[in-house]
Amino acid sequence: MEFAFTKEQLMFKKEVIRFAREKIVPRVAEHDRNHTFDFEAFHKMGEFGLLGLHFPEEYGGGGADVVTTVLAGEALGEAGVDGGLTLSYGAHSFLCADTLYCHGTDAQKTRFLPPLISGDKIGCMGLTEPNAGSDVSAMKTTALKKGDTYVLNGSKTFITNGPIADVALIYAKTDPEKAHDGISAFIVEKGTPGFEAGPPMDKLGCRSSQTSELFFSNCVIPAENLVGMEGLGFLMAMQTVEWDRSALLSPMVGGMNHALARSVTYAKGRKQFGRPIGKFYATKEKLAAMKIFAEAAKLLVYRIAWCKGQGKPLNHLEAAVAKLFVGDWLLGPSNDAVLLHGGYGYCHEYGMERIFRDGRLAPIGGGTSDVQKMIISKMI
C-alpha cells in the first residue's frame, strides 16, 4: 500500500495553504462573526483553480485526480479557513457542479460548468426537506411534466448556499407514487418565477456559509433542465456520497491539524507555575488526542478518495465509518483545543471556539451519525 503523496501533491498543498493564508484567512473571523459569505474569497478560489480542480480542462477545470482534490480541502482547513467557506465550496463544486458534470447533457455542461468552475456563479444542491432528511424517499416536492416544461411545487430546507446560489440542482418527485425511483434532478436558475430562497438561517457554526430554505410555487422550468433521466435522481444523489465522505470531510482533518499546530505553539508559550503548560501531562494528553484523531481521520478519508480515484465502487461501510469517525470523534479534540487555550479559547478572537462550533455540523450534515451507525450495523 502506498500512503505517500507525490512531490507534485505536496507542493500543491503548500501553495494552497499559502494562497489561503494570504487571501482568505485574514477575513475568516469577520465573516464568521457577521454571518456573511466571503464572495471575494470564493472568486479568488475560482481564479486559483480550486473550484474546478477535478473537472476537465475543456470546462475550465484543472483535471486533477481525486486524492489531489481532497488534499486541497485538507490544505484549506490546515491554513485556517473556516468550516463555512469550505462547506460552501463543497456544496458548490461537488454536490452541484459534479452532478451536472456526471449526468448533465453536453449543452447543460457547456452552459453551466464554466461559470461554476470560475466562481462567477454559485451552485447549491436541494435534497433535504422538512420531513425528508436521511429518508430521502419521503420528499414531497414534485416536478410534474406539462408539455415541454416541468412544474415544481414544494420546499427544501437546510440548503447550503441557498440564499446566494445562481444555479440550484433540485431533487423532486416526478412520480409521487414511487419512493426512490420517483426522484429526478433539475436545474433551477435564480430568478425563475415561482422559485424563492428564504433568509439565511442563524447557525451555531459554519456561519460564513449561507443556509436557507428554498420554495417552489408553480415554478415552471423547461424540460431541458432535467438532469439525466427521470427516476434516476436518488442514484445521482448517492453518487455524491463519495465526495461527501472525502472532499467535504478533508477540511475538518486539516482544521484539526490547524488547531493542533496553534495549540502546540500556545502550550509552549503559555507559562503557569513557572513552566510552559505543554510540560503538564494534562496538556500533553490533549495534544496527543488531537494528533491521533487527525491521523486516523486522514487515513479513513483518503481511503475513500483513493478508492474513488481508482474507479472502485463506493464501499458504504467504509464511507459510513469515515463519516461517523470524523463527525463524532472530532468533538473531543476540538473541545480540547478550546480548553487548552483556557479563557482565550473561549473568546472569538483566538478562533478555537470557531473550530469547535464549525465541527458540530460533522455528525449532522450529509447523514447523521445515528444513520451511519445504522449503516455500519447493517453491514457488519
Partner 1 sequence: MKIIVCIKQVPDVTEVKWDENGSLIRTGLPSIINPNDKNAIEAALTLKEEKGAEITVVSMGPPQVEEALREAMAMGCDHAVLLTDRKFGGADCWATAYTLGMAIKKLGHFDLIFSGVEAMDGNTAQVGPEIADFLGLPLLSYAEAIEVGEGTVKIHQKLGDLTRVIEGPMPALITCEKELNVPRIPRMDLVFECFEKEIKVLGMADVDGELENFGLKGSPTRLRKVFSPKRAKAQVEFLEGTPKESSQKLVEKLHEINAI
List residues binding partner 1 (CB under 8 A): 7-8, 11-12, 15-16, 18-19, 22-23, 48-50, 53, 57, 62-64
Among residues 57 and 202, whose Cβ is nearest to partner 1? 57
Among residues 50 and 330, whose Cβ is nearest to partner 1? 50
| Grid cell in block for residue 78 | 490546515
Within 13 Å, how many C-alpha atoms sit on residue 236's CB side?
32
Q: How far is CA 141 from the centre of its chain?
A: 24
Among residues 18 and 146, whose Cβ is nearest to partner 1? 18
Among residues 23 and 323, whose Cβ is nearest to partner 1? 23
Quote the CA–CA distance of 244 and 240 in Å, as a whole number: 6
Interhelix angle 352-359/83-90, rounded to 10 degrees, is: 40
Among residues 25 and 236, whose Cβ is nearest to partner 1? 25
CB of 6 to partner 1, least distance (A): 8
Among residues 259 and 319, whose Cβ is nearest to partner 1? 259
CB atoms within 10 A of CB 298: 20
Among residues 77 and 154, whose Cβ is nearest to partner 1? 77
Q: Is the dihedral of CA 157, 158, 164, 169 positive or negative?
A: negative
Q: Answer for the pair 258, 77: CB distance below 8 angstroms, yes or no.
A: yes
CB atoms within 10 A of CB 236: 23
Q: Give the contacts of 26 (CB within 8 A, at least 6 positions apart).
A: none
CB of 263 to partner 1, least distance (A): 16
Q: Answer for the pair 194, 179: CB distance below 8 angstroms, yes or no.
A: no
| Grid cell in block for residue 43 | 472568486
Q: Give the contacts of 40 (CB within 8 A, at least 6 positions apart).
A: 27
**In a 10 Å sphere around its CB, with 0-12 CB exposed, 13-18 middle and 19+ buried, how is residue 226 labelled?**
buried
Q: Give the contacts of 238 (CB within 8 A, at least 6 positions apart).
A: none
CB of 269 to partner 1, least distance (A): 13
CB of 195 to partner 1, least distance (A): 34
| Grid cell in block for residue 223 | 424540460
CB of 69 to partner 1, least distance (A): 10
CB of 264 to partner 1, least distance (A): 12
CB of 301 to partner 1, least distance (A): 20
Quote the CA–CA distance of 236 and 266 in Å, as a whole number: 45
Among residues 36 and 118, whose Cβ is nearest to partner 1? 118
CB of 25 to partner 1, least distance (A): 13
